[in-house]
Each structure stands twice: as structure tokens, then as C-alpha cells.
């Protein structure tokens, strides 16, 4: 009988967010894969999981996946963790899941921590419909993506690094409008957790005068109905 592939979410900051089930699965797994073993080792030790984790990251996942599939075919259970949060959400995992499914191997993703959900709920922006964009392209395709998102009506969620935050907020002001409502959360679940709400330009001003540190989640309101109505009206006039 084939083994199972488990995707195990780990805390994004506060270790109390680890689930009992996640700890059990990691203790029972025959093989633990981690995005960065230097990050996972202290976490595993904290929860009394006395097992070595093997590296599985974006630079080796294609090469390593065939060996992992072999382990699974031999009946071994494999657990994958990322540095923090849920594997495959802006982290390695998708390729391995796809290959496991191609080989008719059972895949189980445990529920657990992920950064964008609390950031969205904290934002105060509509959460009934939203689109998760993850990280925007760094260079190629970036402006094209921003132009497309200018007409997005759902709340948009992005991940961003400290050294690109101000540039991204500036681009949001340019492509989406300075008055577009937004929210930026950083260091979620940690001691210095912070959420800043307001217009894109107000939030940019805040972070221009504060230390940029930690992981950032940006939530941006979708295009207002008023703007959509005006655009449709102008389009109708042109066609007429």
C-alpha cells in the first residue's frame, strides 16, 4: 500500500498556534521535508519531535520529487512543512502535490496557520469575496499585472517583503488610485504585530517614517462600484 503525503501548516510566529493533529502527524511521519531545516529544527525540538528534517525548497524540489514519490510508493508517509504557514501557499509544495496525485498517492492538507486569512479579517475590508495574489512579479509582467488588477472588484491580498513595501504601495497609488482603501499587517501573531489601515497613500506615509521589519500582508479594496458605473457610462457614450 502506498504511503500518504501530508502538508502540515506550522505557526507563522506564535508557537501556540500549532495544532495537536499537526504535532501527531509530524511525530508519526516516516520522512519530514522542510523548506529550511535551520528554521524547522528548533520548531520540531520545541514540540518534542525528535526527527531529522530533509531540505525541500524551490531550488531542489523538481530534482528531489522523484525520490520522494519513490518513498511514498514504498509505503512511507511523508510530511511537508514550510518555514511558516501552510505549504504551497507562496511556498514550495505545489509541484510535489501534483506529482503525488499523478501517481495516485493520497494527499492530505491539514488546516492551520496561514498569514493572509487573519490579515484579511483584521483589515475591515470586504471578505465575502477576495482574490489572493501572493507576491507580484518582481520585474517582468509586473506593470501588466497591476493594470489588470486596477479593475478587480474583489478585495485583493498580496505578500510583500520589507525592502519592496514602499515601492509596491507607490505603484498601488499609481495604478489603483491614491484614495484606494487598504490595510497592511506585519509580524502577525508576534510580539510587535501591527496593522495599519487607511488609503494607500496614508499607509505609505506611515511606513516611510517607521522601521520596515518583518513579513507584510497587504489587503487592498476592490474597485468601488461608483468608479465602475462611471467607467461603464463613459464607455456607453463612446459606443453611442
Sign of CA dihedral 143, 144, 149, 150: positive
Q: What is the pLDDT of residue 1?
A: 86
Matching residue, cell 501552510: 86
Instruction: Give whole-number Cα distances, 16 to 53, 81, 106, in Å.
Output: 21, 17, 29
H or E segment to which residue 33 belongs:
strand 31-34
Rounded CA-CA distance 168/177 in Å is 13
Q: What is the pLDDT of residue 227?
A: 58
Say whether pLDDT at 166 is over 90: yes
Residue 236 or 15, more confident: 15
Say whether pLDDT at 236 is over 60: no
Average the pLDDT over each of 69-78, 147-156, 199-208, 218-227 and give the range with the smallest value.
218-227
Give the residue-averaged pLDDT of 129-147.
Answer: 96
Mode of pairing for the β-strands spanning 181-186 and 216-220: antiparallel
Average the pLDDT over each of 105-114, 144-153, 204-213 and give the range with the smallest value.
204-213
Say whether pLDDT at 28 is over 90: yes
Q: pLDDT (tens digit, 9 = 90+) per residue, 189-205?
A: 999 999 999 999 999 99
pTM for the full model?
0.89
Q: pLDDT (tens digit, 9 = 90+) per residue, 34-89?
A: 999 999 999 999 999 999 999 999 888 888 999 999 999 999 999 999 999 999 99
Kindly write down the DSSP assignment for every residue of 1-24, as one continuous string.
Answer: ---EEEE--B-SS-GGG--HHHHH
Q: How far is CA 152 from the centre of its chain?
A: 19
Strands (E), the chain: 4-7, 31-34, 53-55, 78-81, 106-109, 130-134, 155-160, 181-186, 194-199, 216-220
Q: What is the pLDDT of residue 173?
A: 98
Give the residue-averaged pLDDT of 118-136.
Answer: 97
- Work out the mean pLDDT of the chain and round it to a whole number: 93
Amino acid at each position: 500500500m502506498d504511503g500518504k503525503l501530508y502538508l502540515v501548516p506550522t505557526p507563522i510566529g506564535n508557537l501556540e498556534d500549532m495544532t495537536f493533529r499537526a504535532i501527531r502527524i509530524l511525530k508519526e511521519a516516516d520522512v519530514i521535508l522542510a523548506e529550511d531545516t535551520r528554521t524547522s529544527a528548533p520548531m520540531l525540538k520545541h514540540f518534542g519531535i525528535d526527527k531529522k528534517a530533509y531540505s525541500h525548497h524551490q531550488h531542489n524540489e523538481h530534482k528531489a520529487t522523484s525520490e520522494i514519490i519513490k518513498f511514498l510508493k514504498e509505503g512511507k508517509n511523508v510530511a511537508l512543512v514550510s518555514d511558516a504557514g501552510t505549504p504551497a501557499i507562496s511556498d514550495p509544495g505545489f509541484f510535489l502535490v501534483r506529482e503525488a496525485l499523478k501517481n495516485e498517492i493520497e494527499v492530505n492538507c491539514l488546516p492551520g496557520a496561514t498569514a493572509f486569512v487573519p490579515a484579511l479579517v483584521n483589515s475591515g475590508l470586504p471578505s465575502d469575496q477576495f482574490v489572493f495574489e501572493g507576491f507580484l512579479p518582481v520585474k517582468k509582467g509586473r506593470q501588466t499585472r497591476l493594470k489588470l488588477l486596477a479593475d478587480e472588484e474583489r478585495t485583493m491580498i498580496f505578500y510583500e517583503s520589507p525592502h519592496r513595501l514602499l515601492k509596491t504601495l507607490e505603484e498601488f497609488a499609481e495604478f489603483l488610485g491614491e484614495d484606494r482603501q487598504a490595510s497592511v499587517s506585519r509580524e502577525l501573531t508576534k510580539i510587535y504585530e501591527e496593522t495599519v489601515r487607511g488609503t494607500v497613500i496614508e499607509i505609505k506615509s506611515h511606513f516611510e517614517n517607521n522601521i520596515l521589519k518583518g513579513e507584510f500582508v497587504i489587503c487592498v479594496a476592490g474597485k468601488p462600484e461608483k468608479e465602475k458605473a462611471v467607467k461603464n457610462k463613459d464607455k456607453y457614450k463612446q459606443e453611442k
